[in-house]
Structure 1
Amino acid sequence: MPLCAIAYVSDVAGPLSAAHLDALVEDAIRFNSLAGVTGVLLCDGSRFLQYFEGPDDGVSAVHERVLQARSHRAIHKLGHARVPQRFFPYWSMRWLGVEPALIEMLSAGDWEAFADRIAGGAPAGSGMERLLQFVAPHLPGQAASQQVRSAAD
């Protein structure tokens, strides 16, 4: 089954407590599980950066849900492409708190060619490569962490 992925950055709409973010992510986990979508959400308190992957119809359903969500605004799609494999197979969704500088650095990377980088093409320092390097230590199990590190090399 072909897989695709979307990455975007957006601004948090209003105050967002950790408890509220946990509730949003729990809801996303349920929805994404049914849609066959996996991914990661980074939040610095004022901005989100999210990457999600899965079958075309599942990614489309999640993307539509993202566009309708009231928890954020000023959504800017960084990339949307086919991917050769899942890079977050263990997470229907997981959020990680980050510093604002990380979201800025990741969103400034080359996301247009992120699928090429995964396939071995785009230059080092792309947004996807930086995301994989940041998330690798948070993945469950040594094998999963090594898989992500290898994909980013």
Structure 2
Amino acid sequence: MPVRALVYVSQKSDRLGEYDLEALVADAATFNATADVTGILLFDGQRFLQYLEGPAAGVEAAFRRVCVATSHKEIMLLAGGIVGARFYPSWSMMLIGADRSSLDQIASGDWNGFVRRGVVARPTAVDHMLTLTEKA
């Protein structure tokens, strides 16, 4: 079964508090586990970058929930497509703190095909994302 991936960036809503963020992540993890979706949520204090992966139906259902959530605004889809394998097979949802510079680098990176080039060649957005999340 092909693995679909999707990544977006958004702005935090003024209404979102720290406790709300923890509840949001717990709720997303529960939903994602039932939809067979895995991924990460990067947060720099003002912006989110979320990467989702799994079966097409599950990723689409998770993204529909994202689009109606009041916890953020200005959702911008960065990429969507098929990946060879999951990058985060055991994380139904993992919240990872990121500094602004790292999130900028990942959001503005090359998402084309969700490929990895590694650190020897010019790193892609996926390379930057995996480097940041390896520390988590």
Normalising by structure 1, report the TM-score: 0.82
5+ long unaligned stretches in structure 1: 139-153
SS in structure 2 at match of 1:137: coil
- Distance (Å, rounded) in 2 between the aligned partners of 1:55 and 1:5: 9
Judging by fraction of residues, say which structure has more helix. Answer: 1
**Which amino acid in 2 is paired with 1:72?**
H
Q: Which residue of 2 aligns with 1:17?
A: 17
RMSD: 1.6
Q: Residue 20 of structure 1: CA displacement?
A: 1.4
Q: Which residue of 2 aligns with 1:44?
A: 44
Q: Residue 124 of structure 1: CA displacement?
A: 3.0
Q: Any runs of at least 4 consecutive aligned residues in structure 1 with deviations exceeding 4 A, and if so which?
A: none
* Higher relative contact order, structure no. (Cα contacts within 8 Å, ≥ 6 residues apart): 2
1:1-150 equivalences under 5 Å are 1-111=1-111, 113-115=112-114, 117-118=115-116, 124-138=122-136
Q: Which segment is superposed worse, 101-110 or 29-38? A: 101-110
Kindly indicate whether the alpha-carbon contact (under 8 Å) linking 2:12 and 2:47 is maintained by their aligned counterparts in 1: yes
- Distance (Å, rounded) in 2 between the aligned partners of 1:50 and 1:93: 9
Kindly indicate whether the alpha-carbon contact (under 8 Å) linking 1:41 and 1:94 is maintained by their aligned counterparts in 2: yes
Kindly indicate whether the alpha-carbon contact (under 8 Å) linking 1:12 and 1:71 is maintained by their aligned counterparts in 2: yes
Q: Residue 21 of structure 1: CA displacement?
A: 0.8
- Distance (Å, rounded) in 2 between the aligned partners of 1:19 and 1:38: 22
**Which amino acid in 2 is paired with 1:89?**
P
Percent identity of equivalent pairs: 40
- Distance (Å, rounded) in 2 between the aligned partners of 1:91 and 1:56: 17
Kindly indicate whether the alpha-carbon contact (under 8 Å) linking 1:108 and 1:127 is maintained by their aligned counterparts in 2: yes
Normalising by structure 2, report the TM-score: 0.92
Q: Residue 39 of structure 1: CA displacement?
A: 0.2
Q: Residue 137 of structure 1: CA displacement?
A: 2.2
- Distance (Å, rounded) in 1 between the aligned partners of 2:104 and 2:91: 23
CA offset digits 1:66-101 (Å, max 9, x no partner): 111111111111110101111101110010112111
